[in-house]
Structure 1
Amino acid sequence: MAGGGGGGNTRELDQTPTWAVASVCGVIVLISILLEKGLHHIGEFFSHRKKKAMVEALEKVKAELMVLGFISLLLVFGQNYIIKICITEEAADTMLPCKLKKGAEHLGGVLGRPQAPYYAAAAFSPHPHRLLAEANMKAKCHEGKVSLISINALHQLHIFIFFLAVFHVMYSAITMALGRAKIRGWKEWEKEAAGQDDEFSNDPTRFRFTHETSFVRQHMNVLNKTPASFYISNFFRQFFRSVRKADYCALRHSFVNVHLAPGSKFDFQKYIKRSLEDDFKVIVGISPPLWASALTFLFLNVYGWHTMLWISIMPVVIILSVGTKLQGIICRMAIDITERHAVIQGIPLVQVSDQYFWFARPTFVLFLIHFTLFQNGFQIIYFLWILYEYGLDSCFNESNQFVFARLCLGVVVQFLCSYVTLPLYALVSQMGSTMKQSIFDDQTSKALKNWRAGVKKKAPNSNSKHGGHGSPTAGSPTRAAADSGIALT
């Protein structure tokens, strides 16, 4: 690529036809505009449906794409400076992702195996020195030293970032679609549960012991057993009807009675769906700890360390542990009910508490789900990038059977996490000590904010006119919600 030479594959921009430059740029600009318009229309759809959490999640996806775009731009701008950084050949031969081949030129980077295309071409080319000079024309290192990372490796890194951006959006969309599909199936349970509330409230003679209720009977097989059998039973329960009708009705009944007025008309299924959207708004982002975990994987992906194996197993272990814990929380609630030996009317009242969760923090469970989704998605994207760059029979893949098993494991984790564990968390996390903000829709939140602002504004006048006592009803939040025509349904 010597300045403006006439070689067929060495022409620079000043020797390239203008129609070729304009055509390539036009296609890139057109695709970019179509993508931007598509995201804009998706945002308008969510806004029209009053899906505030989904709008915020979409904005977070855009922000992540912008970060990846900045990374790509920095690589383009800094590549001429990066390849001028020289290191010793001994350092370049350490911690390689693939076994070092004798005689290979050190043109690969930390992400790519040691590449030898220029070396192989030079061996059979009438101008070997010219090819090698073109490959390292800007890497002016002294004898015994090589570039920190080559132009070819930087190009491969660019492609990896593109894969990460594209599949991050697709992966997030699949996660949300599966979660919503799971919660959509609870709509019929919500209608039946609302009917049961009316049935038991209008029939005061229907009393029974707690151990006779459907919720407790379904968990009797784990009562009075060893801790090992308790966790084994809950481990397998997450694979077969992770949320049952009796579980849903019991948790719904307890939530309404603890956080709202007993007998309130409340659409719990719709609230869970909004809560899932709030959780999705969290897991769609890539936080600094997740970036650190990705960089740690790239750093430890050394030949012989089997890092690819560990990154495939880790998401499975975490998500199965989380699912077992969530199932165990439901069973623990049933055990607590039986220990009270109470006589109840209708559905038993579950005790709500953060103590059921690890470290008394329900959000820690959400972080583990977030970490699992990111790690699983990252290893799938890494596999697809390797398949594109190096093919199936590359040194990254130990065997085709192992690759197939790892890919199937990634798909299973994605389905299990999105369709089972995340909706289960959205339901069980309502049994914490505090109530989530998503219980209020946008209109209710706006009415409460207006009420608060109105009280602050009227407080000085009320104190001066009534000796420090304001009106007890004129500015109440219930009145503000009623004025806006808002109900809890």
Structure 2
Amino acid sequence: MAAGDTSERKLDQTPTWAVAGVCAVIIIVSIALEKVLHKLGKFFTDKRKKALFEALEKVKAELMILGFISLILTFSQYYIAKICIPIDVADTMLPCAKKGKYAKEGKGARRLLLLYEHGRSLASAYGSSCKKGKVPIITVDGLHQLHILIFFLAVLHVAYSAITMALGRLKTRGWKQWEEETSSHDYEFSNDPARFRLTHETSFVRAHTSFWTRIPLFFYIGCFFRQFFRSVSKSDYMTLRNGFINLHLAPGTKFNFQKYIKRSLEDDFQVVVGVSPVLWASFVIFLLLNVNGWQTMFWASIIPLVIILAVGTKLQAILTKMALEITERHAVIQGIPLVQASDKYFWFSKPSLMLHFIHFALFQVLCETLRILITYFLYFHAKHAG
């Protein structure tokens, strides 16, 4: 049997040990994954981590969606490949330059062009059912690559979300020491409610107010640059903790604010770990607008950066406005400055909107990372195949 015929052997010409071995590996991996998810869910239930358990359920739902996508693509790929369109229509809105521009493009474009030409050559193998002057709307090989793209998109999104959660927990762990200080005698003495202080002498007001904070233009410029040098200081934590306790609990109540933040982080993780219909729609729009010459890659890289910087600036602006309101209400305070948290500080008075912006930015960064990985994977695949 020739080498070309060997590469196209059907199942009836494949050794039974090879078929059984491959099936056994796939089944073992699938069962192991199911057991791991089950044990993880039981662990979250035993620890009463309701938010993390619901996040795990979202991960399972995404895996189920991936299963349906895989099933649909597997059974419909040859039917989709039989849909024929005119060549001039197939040559519109291409993601890579055509062959006529080969000599004019740079090294990066030539790499993408190699992928394009490789895909066009594969299309001819499946285009025999199309009449002259027409080509398949998507080849079977193109559908297979799309299958890989969607699979890695969902898997890497879960991985990115888990990394974000881990970094958030690492950040809040550093606040545990500050929370423990609230039970010490030194803290009670330095923040005695009977002790009077001028507002501008408190560390929170000093850190967030200066001459430029009352000028609108310099206010946001200062908040923009401040996010690179200061995240959450000790005075910020203590002031926000005091404001939360006075708003929701009786003043002087012993309350572990750091644990509350950890639980809130788990609730936010439940939102971030899912791929909503809006994110799937943004992914489809990204594929649609990924046209050669439209600089889609540039905008796809800039938008997440702009969102993250805007969110960071807004958070710093919220703290600064709280400090300014303290100075406007009182000249003298007792104990810790009392901030009044309110939804009015956030965009459209919706704090959850900032979380959705972060979620969207995270997803866009993931799409850009995945695009780079898939591009180089297909480039080396085409290089070795050709």
For the criterion TM > 0.5, the same-fold answer is: yes
Contact 1:253 1:349 in 2 (8 A): yes
Work out whether 1:115 is the aligned partner of 2:145: no
> Counterparts of 2:222 and 2:279 in 1: how far apart (Å)?
32
> Counterparts of 2:209 and 2:281 in 1: how far apart (Å)?
44
**Which residue of 155, 161, 166 corresponds with 1:172?**
161
Q: Matches of residues 362-377 of structure 1 in structure 2 within 5 Å?
A: 362-377=351-366
Unaligned runs of 5+ in 1: 105-111, 121-130, 395-489
Determine the structure 2 residue equivalent to 1:360.
Answer: 349
Contact 1:254 1:351 in 2 (8 A): yes
> Counterparts of 2:49 and 2:31 in 1: how far apart (Å)?
24
Determine the structure 1 residue equivalent to 2:62.
Answer: 64
Secondary structure class of the residue paired with 2:5: coil
Alpha-carbon offset, residue 182 of structure 1: 0.3
Determine the structure 1 residue equivalent to 2:78.
Answer: 80
Contact 1:163 1:385 in 2 (8 A): no
Alpha-carbon offset, residue 367 of structure 1: 1.0
Task: Specify whether residues 261 and 119 from structure 1 end up closer, same or farther in structure 2 by C-alpha distance, changes over 3 A only.
Answer: closer
Task: Specify whether residues 224 and 143 from structure 1 end up closer, same or farther in structure 2 by C-alpha distance, changes over 3 A only.
Answer: closer
Number of residues of Structure 1 aligned to a counterpart in Structure 2: 370
The superposition leaves residues 228-285 of structure 1 with CA deviations (integer Å, 9 ceiling, x where unpaired) of 2211221122222310000110011011001111111111110000001101100111
Determine the structure 2 residue equivalent to 1:378.
Answer: 367
> Counterparts of 1:227 and 1:16 in 2: how far apart (Å)?
74
Task: Specify whether residues 331 and 243 from structure 1 end up closer, same or farther in structure 2 by C-alpha distance, changes over 3 A only.
Answer: same
Determine the structure 2 residue equivalent to 1:53.
Answer: 51
Contact 2:83 2:136 in 1 (8 A): yes
Contact 1:210 1:342 in 2 (8 A): yes
Determine the structure 1 residue equivalent to 2:107.
Answer: none
Contact 2:224 2:313 in 1 (8 A): yes
Unaligned runs of 5+ in 2: 103-113
The structure that is helix-richer by fraction is 2
> Counterparts of 1:255 and 1:284 in 2: how far apart (Å)?
27
Contact 2:119 2:141 in 1 (8 A): no
> Counterparts of 1:380 and 1:291 in 2: how far apart (Å)?
16
Task: Specify whether residues 197 and 42 from structure 1 end up closer, same or farther in structure 2 by C-alpha distance, changes over 3 A only.
Answer: farther
**Which residue of 292, 302, 305 corresponds with 1:313?**
302
TM-score calculated relative to the size of structure 2 = 0.89
The superposition leaves residues 19-40 of structure 1 with CA deviations (integer Å, 9 ceiling, x where unpaired) of 1111111111122222222222
Alpha-carbon offset, residue 70 of structure 1: 1.1
Aligned amino acid, residue 17 of structure 1: P
> Counterparts of 1:224 and 1:7 in 2: how far apart (Å)?
76
Contact 2:343 2:351 in 1 (8 A): yes
Alpha-carbon offset, residue 114 of structure 1: 2.6
Contact 2:115 2:382 in 1 (8 A): no
Determine the structure 1 residue equivalent to 2:126.
Answer: 136
Work out whether 1:275 is the aligned partner of 2:264: yes
Secondary structure class of the residue paired with 1:390: helix
Secondary structure class of the residue paired with 2:337: coil
TM-score calculated relative to the size of structure 1 = 0.71
Alpha-carbon offset, residue 162 of structure 1: 2.5
Aligned amino acid, residue 162 of structure 2: A
Aligned amino acid, residue 94 of structure 1: T
Task: Specify whether residues 33 and 113 from structure 1 end up closer, same or farther in structure 2 by C-alpha distance, changes over 3 A only.
Answer: same
> Counterparts of 1:202 and 1:217 in 2: how far apart (Å)?
16
Task: Specify whether residues 170 and 203 from structure 1 end up closer, same or farther in structure 2 by C-alpha distance, changes over 3 A only.
Answer: closer
Determine the structure 2 residue equivalent to 1:254.
Answer: 243
